[in-house]
């Protein structure tokens, strides 16, 4: 594989007359679609989007998490975010790294949270208290990406006055993350109040015909309110990424 | 099959000594579960529930509708309600019977609507104008069963102020029928406002991931509001029956 | 946010001539949909519907349950109902509060059950003995809300004589709660016998193609009997709320 | 491919000493799984099961139907049954063949129905009148296969007295075919009454959450009654084949 | 509830002139559909179908199983069959009752198996060895109901020669029970060979797109072979009941 | 209902001393959640979000479309957008209103398109040419809301070089709308290239296991690329609304 | 966009000293992932895979088909294959181009079929005659791609002898395409006989619980036979592409 | 059952004149479809396909695995492959047999891996690291069947440059196995690059709307790239069998 140095050397060889134009052209042609050092590594792209690197903890061993986190710290990454991390893994990682672990969202953070540098506020709204783990995954992720976050929890649509008491926070947000399980109606009601994009996160909260979040997912996809788009069930992290993008435009 | 007269004659024979007790007992035993004239025909049960007879027009020929309606009129039934009736069938039936046909709900009525005799008001609410055919099936059916009906249409949750302008009518109803397609959130919001049972009717309004009303159905079943129960997709008639029962207790 | 005192002060300022009518109007307009202290808290609405407050125990820690229950007791609430409560949590709560725990329905009660004040009887019917946990959740909830309850258990439609032996109790009920898993046929048969609303509760009882209660749910939604509406799978509590509403009209 | 004559010739060659045993063995081995004339053609198997040949008319052209029917008549088959046949095709076929067409079941018959030769009676039960096309497909097929058929239509479980008036016919049947759409509860109730196998046929009758017969299908598969098995949605023909097998044992 | 003695007394009162005919008629009318002692208890029906009583062990406590079994033994029932019984429960029951437990099928039997009294043989076929627990539930149940059973296991359609080596046993059976998971093709192949009814039992064997037996279930319902009907996933017991009915006609 | 005038009069009465503060407070309290004329009509909210009013043409009669459009034009709305409009309806509307109709997207426009006033460019990408109707619904809607739109069509992931030839347009967009049916992989590939939010629109393009767009919908919800959120199947309009919001922040 | 000439010129400029190495490097870096003339157009890739270009006729206008076909003919492509083409479109195209149209498979061909140049034979097997349109789409496509094809139609597994009579053709094929609807069992049986890859094509043939081919699809995915992979429902074309690849290795 | 010796004896009797031709014919006829010793056992077929025998470890006891492996070793089979084997079972088997266990793929191998004898290379590609267990099941199986395997892991489509850096390995493979969960887009992108058959393996990696691999499965079935076929979710073994067949043609 020809990396950036290889490309430079090849061009130098052309400049020096050591390689003919046609030979150089052939070598470039033989590398179609290949990573010639030009392609930005993923973390470059992530940073360009205003988002630091994140370790998806689910399915990783404690040792794997520790190694990846160590490498990221060595590269200067601050903070290091670890999502979907078991409490047991957190206990282990804390032994050697300055991890702060949030049991509710199952997020671990190493290093200080950044100062908010987004243009506005991201408002995270939940239908019930059971949706809070997903909401906190969104909120902490958004904060780690440099966003100011306002939390409005347990304002399900069956008790509208609770939600309506927070109309201002919804109307003035730069982006709203609406987190709800069961019937997922929160997304539509919030979408009707908000003037900004609403990222809806269905949760697997519920039982019976909630079918692990499918009901909330379908309801949110069918929202009659404009401005509502949907991410995967329980995907608080993904919603925060989008909201952060919008807040950093 | 032993009908009521047969039973009376058998008992008379026992009284007269023409039949022994054991013989009579045997005859009764041989008729377990059978309709001995005691069982009330369906229309009796229907009337006991405050609901007249109804002709389900879908799949019936014009001639069948005419014959059944004629028999019901001959029996004194007023009004005769025909649901899910094609406009073409209505044109034909009108030629010989004094039918009034409502094209929106596809309901035909023969005879005057009764004076309301229910205890209170049944409020029918819809999310959008596209839900009106189902809502009108519910409203006209409820009126034909002797209920006062208040219609509040096109008050979907994405524009809460429209719904909240009708809070009184929802709070003071004896029963509410909430008709909505797409995300079906209306049932939860109305359920949170109402103090009476809310019968939710998912509609097949929508496209794509509404899956013919499935999304609204699931959302309504998962309603976080107390007092909400659900009937089949587009089943305005069934919702009206339940609401009428509640209004005639 | 303008609360009730703020509203009073604003009106006083108008009365005192310190604020003009138009200025006051503007302030009210600027607070659309907001909670001005007028909105009734949820427990008010619940009480208005004849139903006391209830603690949904699933997902709550023992400590959370104890605190919420303590607060409700302090407010004078009697009885306090805790649904979906683990036996382990019950053992803990019993140490400090006079809890009575029903292991079958997983309901805990603190304080005496109220005298029935409903107009009639709520009849709870089950298809099999396996449906009893859901049925008892419904029955105990209904009793806690002041309803007289008649239990008719294990009268599945495959042995009609068992069900038909209780026709009177079904025909004279003010509301029937029909609890069944597997094919859910009980709702239709009961719906055909009853003259009152039937709230059908599909249960997750069954295996294979019962798909966690989906089969019973679909069957009940398709019931050919009038008067049948459906709540979520295993939602005995929700069915009891509706039945209690009907019984307290 | 070695047919029966080929096998006979090979054996003769062995008998005549023209072919060695090992050579013959090799030839037989080289024909693994092949049809050596021993396999019975399909119509032999069908006849052995007491069932004549049937033409599945759906998707066949009028000309195809006419040719197949002609060949079957030439072979002496009586009667020839054509299922799922369009009325238009029937009109065409009637021009050259003595077809009797039943528009309800979409079955065409050429030749006289046979005298019943089954051991008992097959009872066909339906929940509603809309299930009759499927029921008649079953009934006519059963009659064409030599069974005595009793029809009990429109005895849905929401009006039990109608069904219970026919308890005898269900209890004394050799096999029962229970045809129902919507919630499919008929199969369970009939299964509880019958002492013989019940073949349940879900129909696509219904709307909304009937999902084209899926609800009835699932309900029937979950039947709590012993003796109930299920065939495909609307498959009256298949149910009749099984019932006829049972009636001809 | 009026039982048989009550009915006799009432008739006697009529005979004695102590009760008028109309009064008696009224009393009978007031008991429509009720169990007047005429209805046969379930075990009568079960016996009439050639099947003894069975205890469905799943979800029952060891103590419940012991009590029900004791009552059945006291009533003279032999053998007593307990299905879906945990090994742990079996260990407990064995302490006080002469239980023989089959760990594969999770069936417990108390008392001797009956001599076969069915007309022919029930053949149980499986696609793989993993289907054997369901197959043995069917086979042992059938034997307990007085049937001769032939087992042909692990003859899946991907190795046809294994199945074809048993063609005789399939062709001469009185009923075949085809047990298969994954793609469920066994039912169609066996249905094509057999001349008797084939009861297909889909199993939950498989992974991924088998969706807990759904794939096999759907395949079996769509079988192109005549004579195939289907029971619930893993329902070996239900299949045996039907096969036993057919074998005892 | 108290409207704005009523509120003003009440305040005036307070100012005049004709009504006491407490009486006024009570009257306000009695109107919880009600529309006091303060609530902004929907089109206000829509305008605040940078989006003009739109007529959803599906299910509306030509006359209804004409009337609504006329009212909007009278109110000064420019342009008036009509989505999901049949060609036949367009022909009719064109007779009296200066409609320009785009048959591909089924969008009609009355009045000039606005000058783009968004901050950047919205890029609309499709997998195939069959996705173009949905893509054009998005593109024209976005243009009508004042956005500059770049169209990159038929760049499905099975021919990566086509897509990669447009990397710049994707990387520099303010928002990307990714429209694809079948396997919906486009959203993930585009999401990996883009640095802005990607709104994914599954289309119903495809056959068989595409299940009307369900496959694409699920794939998009499971996108491993950050920044991807999803709207309903074929909902090009909804995607354009969100993209326009992002482009007008 | 930098094409091949642009790249050559840039390299020449480096060779000539007109451009510095770093400047050239920068220009190459600015073109990441772009089509520099190196990427082969799609028809090149298709040809490399031994498959000519194909026009997917569904959703294309007659005029579009004619233009694309004309361009392909002008480029020397022989034959031109048009799949999923309506008969009406064929009539139109035939007016100006020498099209041969096969109504069964809805495939149109312009130009002579090529001589087979594959290594062996592709065997196409169907369960029923109704599967023939999909099978012929596969067979004609394979022939157009230079494969010898053997057709074995209507050999469903319910009549094994029909299939077993063709064991040789299955065992000696280079690839088998197994086309079946309903229960899709053919794939497993054929997979058990064949020694080569079997590409299974579920068809939408069937009714009721076939759910448009879903049952066959699931069954084929769960095949217990080794060597079976699956393509989309009714995708005869796709299966032929894979088989042709295997036959041209 | 007549085995090979029986057939030989029967033929000898014909040759000796001890049995007539017709009697022999009859005996052969009475054994239709039966295994006359001609049918090859499964392992013969497997070997013919270039694949040794494999033990499917899931659901087998350690003792069963040991016995089957012992028998295979005794028959000379090398290597013996055991798939889906628990680590605990491996520990036990290692005590008596020279097992090498790979914990990632859960594959155990006894005996040396064979020298590659396939024509080319099988390339195994995964979207993420979580897909590696399935990929390794495929890779190790392929190696055990005599294939050279190239692994390209963690090249998901959201970071195209990673995948494009391996274009050569994909373009030059004899068969590609594409393993991916979540949105499954890898199959389409790889299918667009490769010139050989691509066997797509959806994995159950993901959460929420991945529905256990269903999303990836559907996406892969809908792939717009030619040459892609699909096996069951997580079925790395099955994919390797097909790839090995293609590589050994």
Helix (H) or strand (E) holding G177: strand G175-180
Three-state DSSP at C24 gives: helix
In this complex, do F35 and B168 lie within 8 Å of one another by their Cβ atoms? no
The three-state secondary structure class of B215 is: helix
Q: Round the average pLDDT of chain H to a whole number and report it.
A: 86
Tokens (6 digits) for G134: 């999909």
Task: Tell me the CB-side half-sphere exposure of residue G59, using CA atoms within 13 A.
Answer: 12
- More confident of the two residues C100 and H249: C100
**In the complex, which subunits touch B with 3 or more CB pairs below 8 angstroms?**
A, C, D, E, F
Give chain A positions within 8 Å (CB) of F192. 45
Residue E204 C-alpha, separation from nearest chain C C-alpha, in angstroms: 8
Chains sharing 3 or more CB pairs under 8 A with chain E: B, C, D, G, H
- Give me the numbers of helices (H) and strands (E) for chain C, helices first please: 11, 9
Cβ of D15 under 8 Å from any chain G Cβ?
no
Spell out which residues of chain A touch residue F164, defining contact as CB-CB under 8 Å: 33
G4 contact A CB<8A: yes
Low-confidence ranges of chain B (pLDDT < 70): 1-5, 26, 28-53
* Residue H52 clears pLDDT 80, i.e. is over it: no
* Residues contacting F17, CB < 8 A, separation 6+: C15
Mean pLDDT of D70-88: 87
Inspect the interface and report whether the beta carbons of F34 and B159 lie closer than 8 Å.
Answer: no
How near does any CA of chain G get to the CA of D185, in Å? 18
Mean pLDDT of chain D, nearest integer: 86
Of B86-95, D33-42, F161-170, least confident by mean pLDDT is D33-42
F51: confidence class by pLDDT, cuts 50, 70, 90: low
| pLDDT value of position C36 | 35
Distance from CA of G33 to the nearest CA of F (A): 5
Distance of residue G16 Cα from the nearest chain H Cα, in angstroms: 31
The answer to whether E33 contacts D232, with C-beta atoms less than 8 Å apart, is: no
User: What tokens does G126 get?
Assistant: 């169907």
The reply to whether residue F165 touches residue G35, judged by beta carbons under 8 angstroms, is yes
> What integer pLDDT is reported at residue G34 of this predicted model?
37
Q: Which two tokens stand for residue D145?
A: 């296969």
Which pLDDT does position G52 carry in this prediction?
60
pLDDT digits (tens, 9 = 90+) for A229-241: 999 999 999 999 9
% residues pLDDT > 90 (chain A): 56
- Stretch (H or E) spanning B168: helix B167-171
Determine G/C contact with 3+ CB pairs under 8 A as the test: no
Tens of pLDDT, residue by residue over E59-68, are 788 888 898 8
Q: What pLDDT score does B64 carry? A: 85
Task: Give me the pLDDT at residue D35, please.
Answer: 38
Among residues B195, B124, B121, B243, which one has the least CA distance to residue C197?
B243
Determine what percent of chain H is predicted with pLDDT higher than 90: 57
**Rounded to 5 degrees, what are φ and ψ at D36?**
-95, 30
Q: Are B8 and E28 in contact (CB < 8 Å)? A: no
- Compute the nearest-CA separation of C78 from chain E (Å): 34
- Residue D47: predicted pLDDT: 39
Q: Which of E163, E207, E216 to mutate to test the interface with H (most CBs of H within 10 A)?
A: E207
Chain F interface includes H171 (CB < 8 A): no
The beta-carbon neighbor of E49 closest among D33, D195, D199 is D195
CB-CB under 8 Å, F223 with H182: yes
Supply the DSSP string of F131-170, one letter for each residue: GHHHHHHHHHHHHHTT-EEEEE-S--GGGHHHHHTTHHHH
Q: Is B45 on the interface with C (CB under 8 A)?
A: yes
Residues of C in contact with D222 (CB under 8 A): 181-184, 206, 208-210, 215-216
Determine contact: C39 vs chain A, CB below 8 A. yes
**pLDDT(A5) > 50:** yes
Residue D39 and residue G161: Cβ atoms within 8 Å? yes
> If residue C175 lies in a helix (H) or strand (E), which one and from where to where?
strand C175-180
H51 touches chain G (CB under 8 A): yes
In this complex, which of E7, E12, E22 lies closest to B28 when CB atoms are compared? Answer: E7
Q: Which two three-digit tokens encode residue D142?
A: 């059963």
F209 touches chain G (CB under 8 A): yes
Please name the residue of chain G whose CA is at the shortest distance from the CA of residue A24.
Answer: G11
> Given an 8 Å threshold on Cβ–Cβ distance, is E21 in contact with B8?
yes
pLDDT of res. G149: 98
Q: Who wins on pLDDT, H36 or F180?
A: F180
DSSP-derived 3-state class of residue G67: helix
Chain-centroid distance of CA F84 in Å reads 12
Query: Is ipTM beyond 0.90?
Result: no
Q: Which two tokens stand for residue B17?
A: 């000594």
pLDDT of G51 reads 60
Helix ranges, H165-211 (H): 167-171, 186-193
pLDDT at E48 over 50: no
- Tell me the per-residue pLDDT of C162-178, one tens digit each, with 9 for 90 and over: 888 888 889 889 999 99
- Model confidence, pTM: 0.86
Closest CB to A14: pick one of G4, G11, G39: G11
- Tens-digit pLDDT string for chain C (249 aa): 355 567 778 888 888 888 888 788 767 654 433 333 333 234 334 434 446 668 888 878 888 888 888 888 887 777 899 999 999 999 999 999 999 999 999 999 999 999 999 999 999 999 988 999 999 999 999 999 999 999 999 998 888 878 888 888 898 899 999 999 998 999 999 999 898 999 999 999 999 999 999 999 999 999 989 899 999 999 999 999 999 999 998
Residue E201: pLDDT above 90?
yes
A232 closest CB neighbour out of F32, F222, F227: F222
Question: Which residue out of D184, D207, D211 would a mutagenesis test of the B interface target, given it has the greatest number of B Cβ atoms within 10 Å?
Answer: D207
Q: Cβ of F218 and H219 within 8 Å? A: yes
pLDDT tens-digit profile of A113-165?
Answer: 999 999 999 999 999 889 999 999 999 999 999 999 999 999 988 888 788 87
Longest dimension (CA), chain A: 78
D and A touching (3 or more beta-carbon pairs closer than 8 Å):
no
E-assigned strand segments in D181-236: 198-202, 228-230
For residue G130, the distance in angstroms to the closest alpha carbon of chain A comes to 36
Strand partners, A82: A55, A108
All residues of chain F having their beta carbon less than 8 Å from the beta carbon of residue A192 are 45
Question: B229 vs B147, B197, B225, C185, CA distance in Å?
Answer: 20, 8, 10, 18
Between D49 and H10, name the one with better pLDDT: H10
* Residue H48 to residue B30: CA distance in whole angstroms: 70
pLDDT computed for residue B115 by the predictor: 93
Cis, bond preceding D61 (omega within 30 deg of 0): no
C51 at interface of E, judged by CB pairs closer than 8 A: no
Higher pLDDT pick, B242 / E38: B242
Nearest CA in chain H to D9: H21
Q: Is the pLDDT of residue F9 over 50?
A: yes
Calculate helix-pair angle for C186-193, C214-221, nearest 10 degrees: 30
Record: contact G208-D39, CB cut-off 8 A = no
Q: Does F156 touch chain B (CB under 8 A)?
A: no
Nearest CA in chain A to F46: A195
Q: Are D149 and D142 in contact (CB under 8 A)?
A: yes
Q: Which of D3, D5, D15, D42 to mutate to test the interface with H (most CBs of H within 10 A)?
A: D15
Q: Does B107 touch chain C (CB under 8 A)?
A: no
Percent over 70 (pLDDT), chain E: 87
Query: What are the angstrom distances between the C-alpha of G111 and each of B46, C153, D79, G56, G98?
Result: 72, 75, 49, 17, 7
Tell whether B207 lies on the interface with D, counting CB pairs under 8 A: no
Helix, strand or coil for residue E45? helix
Tens-level pLDDT at each residue, chain G (249 residues): 355 567 778 888 888 888 888 778 766 654 433 333 333 234 334 433 446 668 888 878 888 889 888 888 887 777 899 999 999 999 999 999 999 999 999 999 999 999 999 999 999 999 988 999 999 999 999 999 999 999 999 998 888 878 888 888 898 899 999 999 998 999 999 999 898 999 999 999 999 999 999 999 999 999 989 899 999 999 999 999 999 999 998
Which chain F residues are Cβ-neighbours of G233 within 8 angstroms? 207-209
What CA–CA distance (Å, rounded) separates B215 from B205? 10
Give residue C29's pLDDT. 54
Cα within 13 Å of Cα(G90), Cβ side: 19
Chain G residue with the nearest C-alpha to that of H171: G45
* Chain H contact set for A236 (CB, 8 A): none
- Minimum-distance CB partner of F232 among B159, B161, B209: B209
pLDDT value, residue F5: 66
A79 three-state secondary structure = coil
The shares of helix, strand and coil residues in chain B, as percent rounded to the nearest 5, are 45, 15, 40
Percent of chain D with pLDDT over 70: 87
Is the bond preceding F79 in cis, omega lying within 30 degrees of 0?
yes
């Amino acid at each position: 594989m020809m990396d950036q140095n290889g490309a430079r050397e090849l061009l130098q060889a052309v400049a020096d007359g050591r390689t003919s134009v046609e030979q150089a052209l052939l070598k470039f042609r033989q590398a179609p679609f290949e990573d010639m050092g030009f392609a930005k590594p993923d973390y470059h792209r992530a940073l360009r989007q205003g988002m630091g690197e994140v370790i998806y903890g689910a399915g990783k061993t404690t040792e794997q998490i520790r190694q990846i986190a160590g490498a990221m710290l060595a590269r200067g990454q601050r903070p290091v975010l670890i999502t979907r991390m078991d409490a047991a893994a957190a206990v282990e990682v804390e032994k050697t790294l300055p991890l702060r672990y949030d049991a509710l969202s199952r997020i671990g953070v190493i290093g200080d949270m950044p100062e908010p540098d987004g243009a506005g506020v991201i408002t995270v709204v939940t239908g019930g208290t059971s949706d809070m783990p997903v909401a906190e995954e969104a909120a902490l992720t958004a904060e780690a990406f440099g966003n100011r976050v306002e939390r409005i929890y347990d304002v399900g649509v069956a008790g509208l006055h609770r939600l309506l008491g927070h109309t201002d926070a919804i109307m003035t947000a730069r982006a709203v993350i609406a987190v709800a399980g069961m019937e997922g109606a929160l997304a539509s009601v919030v979408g009707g109040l908000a003037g900004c994009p609403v990222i809806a996160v269905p949760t697997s909260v519920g039982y019976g015909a909630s079918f692990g979040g499918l009901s909330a997912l379908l309801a949110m996809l069918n929202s009659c309110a404009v401005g509502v788009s949907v991410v995967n069930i329980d995907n608080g992290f993904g919603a925060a990424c989008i909201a952060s993008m919008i807040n950093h435009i």
